[in-house]
Structure 1
């Protein structure tokens, strides 16, 4: 099942180390089947709420590969190049299975309410 590394980058202080990080990151995730899906889009359209900053999204074949990449020596070596100059949040999340039906989730929610609605 596809998994994603998603970063919400807010406070960015331009620095040469960020350029080096960007130059080197692809080589760290390619061995795990990763690829950029979204990279630092500043022109995103916020349609509800408040979304300051940029978003980066990397897709992986599965959550195992995403975790292996995150913990890899190659990525951990370059991570400080980013974290010293960019504040934000990063998550690893598994996608939904092929054929996912949200009605099943809604029914489970209704079943859990047991008349509390």
Structure 2
């Protein structure tokens, strides 16, 4: 069964975040991951949205999603992301 990682991002340094965005696509490939949503703005039609960006990633299964998140390549990208933003990651499925 497919699994998804939903990410809420608050960006405070766009230049650093752009560096991170360049690294993420290639890190997904070995795990069968793909972007479903990658962008902003997000408009809340019910409730509230208080973040700058939403990303939704799709993986073949939960194991692959978690392997990607914990992979050496993504952890390198994550260190860059943390210099320019804060984020919440959720795995579903």
TM surpasses 0.5: yes
d(CA) in 1 for partners of 2:83 and 2:19?
13
Distance 2:8 2:15 in 1: 20
SS at match of 2:56: strand
Q: Please, what is the CA RMSD of the aligned residues?
A: 1.2
Residue 20 of structure 1 pairs with residue 19 of structure 2: yes
Q: Which of 58-67 and 14-23 deviates more?
A: 14-23
Distance in 2 of aligned mates of 1:87 and 1:73: 20
Is 1:6 the counterpart of 2:6? The answer is yes
Residue 45 (structure 1) shift: 2.6
Partner of 1:48: 46
Q: Which has the higher strand share?
A: 2
The Cα of 1:93 is off from its aligned counterpart by 1.4
CA distance in structure 2 between the aligned counterparts of 1:88 and 1:67, rounded to whole angstroms:
16
**Is the Cα–Cα contact under 8 Å of residues 43 and 49 in structure 2 kept in the other structure?**
no
TM-score between the two structures when normalised by the length of structure 1: 0.73
Report the structure number with the largest CA radius of gyration: 1
